Structure 1
Amino acid sequence: MKAIQQIAFGLESLQLTDLPTPTPAANEVLVKIEAVALNYLDVALATGTYSKELPLPRIPTSDGAGIVAAVGDSVSKWQPGDRVMIQYNQLWQRGLATPATNHIRTGVSTPGLLTEYAVIPEYALVRTPANLTSAEAATLPVAGVTAWTGLMSYANIQPGQTVLTQGTGGVSLFALQIALAAGARVIATSSNPAKLEKLKQLGAHEVIDYKQHPNWYEEVSRITNGEGVHATLDIAGAATIVNSVKSVGYNGFVGLVGFIAGAQLPLDLFTIVGNYIRLQGYSVGSLQSFEALAAAVALNNIHPVIDRIFPVSEVQEAFRHMGSGNYFGKIVIDMNA
């Protein structure tokens, strides 16, 4: 089978190779990968900025969708032809995360999905919503589940509440779509006028240009009449956490899901304690959350926002585009092109 392998650290090391097609063992499923979506973590792992302790060569990426090609013994839930998405935290089935549930992560502690075929445990698959293409479905397992877990599982967003979304990457756009489907009011940020207009077209009630308003929590306060928002997901880390904390109101929720601008956070405990703010760090979510997201996507006919689809032959360019930050939505690699 064809697969993309990372043979060293650096995007130029992503090479097309031939590998043996795996055979599913008992309780395993062989999935023909149709599409893969990129996340910042994929670039960080490929360049070595996240860790240089990963064994090489490796097959990268964690986000993908495909079709069941074969099943191993004792598999009863899936059959050839089923359209499926792959769970990131493979052992996190439900409830709170534990060290054990975080032990096996697709594309980090297991081979990734930039390959024609992948063997996946039967319990780490979710049925693809009928309204999605494989390219759209590939964006759900990491970015979509991250947004759902923060807003619905942790923050428990209710109709009429207000959510702040930050930027135009996959997690933030999923957060916007999920919040709107939940009946929430959405304030969205970006530094690009064209992207701000796209955010309005997606349904954002208010938008803030954070280049014009570097202390954008002040604009959030103005828009909400001083009450602040109920929840926000902080994507960048060190560069945005102060604004995030000051943007939420009493009993507000800040989900800590990204570190693209640094992981050492300057926190103001007076604001956090005084306003009873909840800060929650987490990584993606459980299978239960994934299944709930898939059901909501089907029920509300949500279509993920895709910036661009690359053929697998342009994998290095796809990773560079992801690393540039110059995108609106998800970047997808078509494994059949």
Structure 2
Amino acid sequence: MAQEIPKTTKQWKVTGTSGFDDLKLSEVPLPELGDAQVLVKMRAASLNLQYRDLIIPKGQYGFAFSPGVVAGSDGAGEVIAVGKHVKRFKKGDKVVTLFNQGHLGGDIDRAAAATGLGGAIDGVLRTVGAFDENGLVPLPEGLSFLEGATLPCAAVTAWNALYGLKRLTPGQWVLTQGTGGVSIFGVQFAKAAGARVIATTSSADKAKLLEKLGADHIINYKENPNWGSKVREITNGAGVDHVIEVAGPTSMAQSLKSIKMEGVISIIGFVGGTQDPNQPGFLENLLRMCTTRGLLVGSRSQMEEMCRAIEANLDKLRPVIDSKVFKFEDLKEAYEYQWSGKHQGKVCIEIS
């Protein structure tokens, strides 16, 4: 039986920038579907990249933002209708959203960076949503909607960090930080590629998860604040080939100490804060002879490459979801939970 097209959609909008209470749930009429659009019944969403979703309602997001935007960039669902010019999808297909809807391939530019779901344009935290057909990719075979909803931001970002500039090769060293979504995907992708992983963490409990994922060495950065020297020791003085830097100014000095000559530090976020009196200066990058690179998620072509890798290695690359999954109506609780830092893996929301 064909699925009936709903006349309304429930959605969480960011109505202000003073905190999570500015997230408001409402029900509105569903606009007419455009000729190049795909109508998706959303099944799941996840909160993303190093607090990006969380700092938007707090007024701390430095990229494109439209007041009153529907929140969230990471979602998965089922196609229930397509516009008359749509070629890439059909009714019944399972799909995952692309973070920057306009970043289809190649280097990102200003125009593509201004197409972020849940920031510049309406996002995924709604029961039904219309998306441009180019802003979706097929859900990898073998993944649930919840698992698929973890991919658009954290997974693609980790993939870009390891393959976007200098491609990771077997036997290289990768350094990850913590047990957030990007870092966990970084461990998984690195191990699946035959690389060696050094992971930092703040607790024994979180170390257990990193051990389970196959991290070769784990350093508690609270017990060893000069962990860059430990990384050098582990790598026989050479340093690591890739650093996935998520903490920001508070850890950059140690990341620079950890990187090898011609290595790449991919700067993802700043969960440790935006200021630190001991952050390294201008010359440090030159003295270390490395590349320090900021990145904004990745393109659709990178996401499609990543999804093919996941399908081929489901046993190693199945997304890690936090044990606490939230209902759509309890979105504010999900935001508070991730903000508390208690999660291990991706914080997910079941939509329908």
Partner of 1:229: 240
Partner of 1:240: 251
Q: Match for 1:3: what amino acid?
A: Q
Aligned residues: 336
Per-residue deviation at 1:237? 0.9
Provide the rounded CA distance (Å) in 1 between the counterparts of 2:274 and 2:202. Answer: 22
Kindly report which structure 2 residues correspond to 1:40-59, keeping only aligned pairs within 5 A, or say none. Answer: 40-50=51-61, 54-59=65-70
Per-residue deviation at 1:55? 4.4
Q: Match for 1:35: what amino acid?
A: A
Q: Match for 1:122: what amino acid?
A: E
What percent identity do the matched residue pairs reach? 38
Partner of 1:22: 31
Residue 189 (str. 1) matches residue 204 (str. 2):
no
Provide the rounded CA distance (Å) in 2 between the counterparts of 1:295 and 1:115. Answer: 27
257, 278, 286: which one aligns with 1:273: 286
Partner of 1:311: 327
Q: CA offsets per residue over residues 115-138 of structure 1, 9 Å max, x none? A: 011111111111111111000100
Kindly report which structure 2 residues correspond to 1:72-87, keeping only aligned pairs within 5 A, or say none. Answer: 72-87=83-98
Partner of 2:351: 335
57, 62, 66: which one aligns with 2:73: 62
RMSD across aligned C-alpha pairs, in angstroms? 1.6
Per-residue deviation at 1:224? 0.8
Partner of 1:5: 13
Provide the rounded CA distance (Å) in 1 between the counterparts of 2:119 and 2:64. Answer: 11
Gaps of 5+ in 1: none
The 3 A distance-change label for structure 1 pair 217 and 3 is same
Partner of 1:147: 158
Provide the rounded CA distance (Å) in 1 between the counterparts of 2:128 and 2:151. Answer: 19
TM-score normalised by length of structure 1: 0.96
Per-residue deviation at 1:15? 2.6
Secondary structure, counterpart of 2:306 in structure 1: helix
| Conserved 8 A contact 1:164-1:188 | yes
TM-score normalised by length of structure 2: 0.92
Provide the rounded CA distance (Å) in 2 between the counterparts of 1:320 and 1:328. Answer: 14
| Conserved 8 A contact 1:192-1:209 | yes
Q: CA offsets per residue over residues 187-230 of structure 1, 9 Å max, x none? A: 11101101112111111111000000011101101111111110
| Conserved 8 A contact 1:246-1:271 | no
Gaps of 5+ in 2: 1-8
Provide the rounded CA distance (Å) in 1 between the counterparts of 2:12 and 2:194. Answer: 41
Q: CA offsets per residue over residues 250-291 of structure 1, 9 Å max, x none? A: 111100110233345733444422332001111000111000
Provide the rounded CA distance (Å) in 1 between the counterparts of 2:242 and 2:257. Answer: 11
The 3 A distance-change label for structure 1 pair 282 and 52 is closer
Q: Match for 1:303: what amino acid?
A: R
Provide the rounded CA distance (Å) in 1 between the counterparts of 2:82 and 2:335. Answer: 32
| Conserved 8 A contact 2:64-2:116 | no
Per-residue deviation at 1:309? 1.2
Partner of 1:259: 270
| Conserved 8 A contact 1:234-1:258 | yes
Provide the rounded CA distance (Å) in 1 between the counterparts of 2:66 and 2:46. Answer: 22
Secondary structure, counterpart of 1:92 in structure 2: coil
Provide the rounded CA distance (Å) in 1 between the counterparts of 2:135 and 2:65. Answer: 22
Query: Would you identify which runs of 4 or more consecutive aligned residues in structure 1 move more than 3 Å?
Result: 51-56, 262-265, 268-271
Q: CA offsets per residue over residues 17-70 of structure 1, 9 Å max, x none? A: 111123321111111111110021111001222269954433111111111111
Deviates more, 1:18-27 or 1:53-62: 53-62
